[in-house]
Amino acid sequence: MYNLRDIRKRKGLSVGQLAGRSGVSAQRIKEYELGGKEIPFDDLERLAKALYVEEWEIKLKSDPPVAPPRSQDRPNKPRVKAPRKGKQSKRRPKQVRVIPPLKDTQRLQIQRLLAYLSLDETAVLELAKKPLDELNQKEASGLLNTLQREIAQREPQERKQNMRRAYLPEGVDRFELKYLQECVESNATLRVTLFDDSTQIGSIVGFGPYILTLRDQEGQEVTINKLAIAYYYCEKE
C-alpha cells in the first residue's frame, strides 16, 4: 500500500487534476495526503478509479510528509548561474506517460460483458479500434464503460429509474422477496435447510433481505439469519 501523494506523483498528476478527475475536492485530497484524515470509503473508490489503481493500493491514512530541510539547515552551496540558452532550453522535456496494458480482470470482464450482449471479440475492434490484446488499462476502462452503457440501454425503463442499482440481476433482491411473498399469501410451509444440515419447518411470520422468521407447529417463533440458510422449499398446501 502506498500513500495517496506518492501514487498521485507517480501518475504525474497535480492535486487539482486529481480533484477534477475524481470529483473529490482539492482541499480534501490535501487533507488526506497530509495524513490528517482517513480516506472514507466513497472517496477511496473515486480516487482509485481516477488514479487507475486498486482501492487497496492506497493507504487509508497517509503517512505525514517529511518536511524538507529549512534553508538555514541546508549546506551552503555556491550558486552557479546557468548560462542562458535559447528559448527552447527553458521548456521542460514533455513527460510521456506510459499506460500499462489491460489487466487480466479487465480482459475477463470485457469478455463476459460481450457474452452478455451476445457479441464476440470482433466487436472490440469496432468499439475500441483495436484488438482486445492491444488495449491498455485506460482504453479497457473506456470500453467497459461503453459496454455497461449498452447494457443499461437494453434494460427496461423501470429499472433505469433506480440508478443506484446495478443492471445485472445480481443487483436486486426482489425475486426472492416476491417468491417469499407468494409463499405467505398461499399459507405455505417453509422447509429450511441450514448450513449445519439441520432443518427448520414452519409458516412464514416475516421476512426481510437478511432474515426470515418462522412459526413452527408448536407456535414457537424462530428468526433465522439468511447467512445461516443453505436452501429452502416452499411447500404449498
Partner 1 sequence: MSSSDYLRYLRALKRGPDFRTISEATGVPAGILRQMEQRYRPLGNEEILRKLAIYYDLPAEELFWRHAWSRRDLTFFLQEVSGQDVLADFELATGSTLSGRVQWFDLGSFSLLQEDGREAIVQRHVVERWRRAGQPFSPPAGEETA
C-beta of residue 22 within 8 angstroms of C-beta of residue 47: yes
Write the DSSP assignment of 161-178 as a string of letters: T-TTS-SSGGG--HHHHH
Is 210:226 a contact under the CB 8 Å cutoff? yes
Q: How many residues does the chain have?
A: 237
The one-letter amino acid code at 76 reads N
42 is a contact residue toward partner 1 (CB under 8 A):
no
For the packed helices 137-154 and 104-116, what is the interaxial angle rounded to 10 degrees?
20
Q: Which of 115, 125, 152, 222 binds partner 1 (CB under 8 A)?
A: 115
User: Is 186 among the residues that bind partner 1 (CB under 8 A)?
Assistant: no
Q: Which is nearer to partner 1, 145 or 233 (CB)?
A: 233
- For position 158 contacting partner 1 by CB under 8 A, the verdict is no
Q: Which is nearer to partner 1, 17 or 226 (CB)?
A: 226
Angle between helices 15-22 and 26-33 (to 10 degrees): 120
Total residues binding partner 1 (CB under 8 A): 40
**For partner 1, which is the closer residue by CB, 10 or 174?**
174
Each residue 82-111 as x (binds partner 1 by CB under 8 A) or -, in order, gives -----------------------x---x--
- Report how far residue 152's alpha carbon sits from residue 159's, in angstroms, rounded to the nearest whole number: 9
Contact positions with partner 1 (CB under 8 A) in 197-236: 197, 209, 226-234
Q: Which is nearer to partner 1, 9 or 210 (CB)?
A: 210
Is residue 117 at the binding interface for partner 1, with CB under 8 A as the rule? no
Is there binding between residue 75 and partner 1 (CB under 8 A)? no
63 touches partner 1 by CB under 8 A: no
185 counts as binding partner 1 under rule CB under 8 A: no
Q: Hunting for cell 493500493 — which residue is that?
A: 57
Q: What is the grid cell recorded at 168?
A: 445485472
Pick 17 or 189: Cβ nearer partner 1: 189
Task: Report whether 101 contacts 137 (CB < 8 A).
Answer: yes
Decide whether 153 or 195 has the Cβ nearer to partner 1: 195
Cα 75 to Cα 65, 68, 81, 82, 115, distances in angstroms:
22, 13, 18, 20, 64
- 156 CB burial (10 A radius; 0-12, 13-18, 19+): exposed
Residues at the contact surface with partner 1, assessed by CB under 8 A: 1, 38-39, 41, 44, 54-56, 59-61, 105, 109, 112, 115-116, 168-176, 179, 193, 195-197, 209, 226-234
